[in-house]
C-alpha cells in the first residue's frame, strides 16, 4: 500500500494541479469525455483520498480544509477573465472531496501501520 511519505507529495501535487486547472484560462482546461460535474467530483475525490492516506490521523481537518478549499479555489476563478465561479461547482467539488476523505479513512482503518507511521 502507499506510504505516508509518498502520499504527501502526491496529495500536494494533485491539489496544485487542481488549482492550476481551476484558475487557468478556459482554453487551457483539459478536455475529457465525461461531464464537467463528474470531472470535478472525481478530481476532488482523488485529492481527498490522497490527503486522507497522507494524513491518516488528521482526517477531520483534511475534510474541513478540502471542503472550504473547494469553495475558495472556485472563487479564485474571479481572477481569470475567461472563467466564472459558481456555488454549484464548489458544492460538487466539496462532495467529491468528502467522499474521497471517507474512502481514505476506510482504507486507513484496514491498513496495517508500520511502527514509524504510527505518529503520522
* pLDDT at residue 54 in the model: 94
* pLDDT: which is higher, 102 or 4: 102
Kindly state the DSSP code that residue 110 receives in the 8-state scheme. T
Please give the mean pLDDT across all residues of the chain.
86
Domain residue ranges in the chain: 1-26+36-110
Q: Extract the C-alpha cell encoding 119.
A: 505518529
Top mean-pLDDT range of 33-37, 67-71, 107-111: 67-71
Helices (H), the chain: 4-23, 36-54, 59-75, 87-109
Residue with the larger pLDDT of the pair 22 and 42: 42
Confidence at residue 9, expressed as pLDDT on a 0 to 100 scale? 95
Amino acid at each position: 500500500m502507499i506510504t505516508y511519505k509518498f502520499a504527501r507529495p502526491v496529495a500536494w501535487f494533485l491539489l496544485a494541479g487542481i488549482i492550476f486547472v481551476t484558475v487557468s484560462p478556459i482554453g487551457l482546461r483539459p478536455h475529457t469525455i465525461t461531464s464537467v460535474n463528474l470531472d470535478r467530483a472525481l478530481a476532488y475525490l482523488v485529492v481527498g483520498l490522497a490527503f486522507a492516506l497522507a494524513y491518516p490521523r488528521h482526517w477531520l481537518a483534511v475534510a474541513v480544509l478540502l471542503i472550504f478549499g473547494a469553495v475558495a479555489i472556485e472563487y479564485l476563478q474571479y481572477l481569470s477573465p475567461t472563467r466564472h465561479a459558481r456555488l454549484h461547482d464548489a458544492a460538487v467539488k466539496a462532495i467529491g472531496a468528502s467522499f474521497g476523505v471517507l474512502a481514505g479513512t476506510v482504507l486507513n482503518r484496514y491498513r496495517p501501520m508500520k511502527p514509524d507511521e504510527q505518529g503520522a
